[in-house]
Structure 1
Amino acid sequence: MQKRLNFKAAAPNALKAMIGLENYLASSPLSRTVKELIKIRASQLNGCAYCINIHTQDAIKNGESSQRIFLVGAWREAGDIFTQEEKAVLALTEEITMIHQKGLSDKAYADVLGFFSESEIADIIAAVIAINLWNRVVLSTRLPIGESLA
C-alpha cells in the first residue's frame, strides 16, 4: 500500500485539535492500563496495524503482560485474566467502536457505571472516540508502520 497523503501537512489544524484531545486524555484519572486496553481493542476492531503496533508497545512499557495483550481480542473467553472493570471498559469500547451495528446498549453502560463516575465514563467515551479518529486517519492515509503522523 502506498501512503496517500501527509495528514500533518494537509490538515495541521485538525492534527493540532486531535493532539489537544490526547493531551486532555493524558490528564484524565483513568489508569494507563484502561487507556491502552481501549486503544488496543478499538484498533483491533478497526484493523489498524499502525495503532496496534504503537499501543501494544506502549502497554508493555507501562508494565502490561504479553499474555494480557495477546488476549485482548478474546477478552470474553479469557476467564479472569481481565478484571470485571476492564471487561466493562472493553465491552463499552467495542460497542462504541461498532456503534453503527446496535448503538450503545443499556447493559454495557450500566456495567461501566458500576465502576466509574459519570465524569470517568465521559473520559472513556472520549478515549474510544479519539482512538477511532486516529485509526480512521491512519487507515485513510495509509500511514506506514513506523512513520510519524505528528
Structure 2
Amino acid sequence: MTRTQLLDPKVGRAMSALSTAAKQGLGDPVLAELVMIRASQINHCAFCLDMHLRAARKAGESEDRVQLLDAWEETEDLYSERERAALALTEAVTVLTEGFVPDEVYDRAAGHFTEAELAHLIALITVINGWNRLMVSRRVPPGGYLP
C-alpha cells in the first residue's frame, strides 16, 4: 500500500457516510462547501481544497467568494451573517490550540442555526478535519478526486 492510499476502504466509506449525513442535515450545500474549504485551508490539505473548490463552483459559488474565503473576516459584504458564524465556528473547532471553542463563537453560531443544524455543522467541521488529517498524513496529492 502506498502513502497516497487510505489505510482501509472501510474507513473511507465510514467517513463518507458521516460527511453525507452532516451535509444533508445542514441543508445548504454551498455553506457546507465553504466550511470544508475553510477547514482545508487552515489544515493545508491540497487534496480536499481541490475537491471542495470544484464542488463549490459546481454548486454555483462565485469566484470572488471562493478566492476571498481565506480573508472572510475582512470582506463584510461578501458573506452572510449566517455564513460568517459558521466560518468562525469552523476556525474555532479546527484550531483548538487555545483550549475550548469560545462561548461567544458557539453562541453566535447557535443564533443562526437550529439545534439540529448546529449539530450537523459541528459534525461536518469534525469530519472535514478528519479527512484533512487522513489526506495530509498520507500525502494524497490534489487532482485525484472522482465524484
Q: Structure 2 length as normaliser, TM-score?
A: 0.92
> How far, CA to CA, are the matches of 2:43 and 2:26 in structure 1?
26
2:123 matches 1:126 = yes
Counterpart-to-counterpart distance in 2, 1:18 and 1:50? 15
Structure 1 residue runs of 4+, over 3 Å off? Answer: none
1:146 is aligned to 143
Match of 1:78 in 2: 75
- The count of corresponding residues between Structure 1 and Structure 2 is 146
Please give the per-residue CA displacement for 1:86-110, whole angstroms capped at 9, x wherever unaligned: 0000000000000232420110111
Q: State the match for 1:6 in structure 2.
A: 5
Distance 2:19 2:81 in 1: 26
Change (3 A) 1:108 1:55: same
Gaps of 5+ in 1: none
Runs of 5+ unmatched residues, structure 2: none
Structure 2 residue 39 is matched with structure 1 residue 42: yes
The normalised TM-score by structure 1 is: 0.90
- Note if contact 1:143-1:149 (Cα within 8 Å) is conserved in structure 2: no
What CA RMSD, in Å, does the superposition of the two structures yield over aligned residues?
1.7
| CA 4–29 in structure 1, closer or farther in 2 if over 3 Å, else same | closer
CA contact 1:39–1:131 (8 Å) conserved in 2? yes
**1:106 maps onto 2:103 in alignment:** yes
Give the match's secondary structure for 2:140: coil
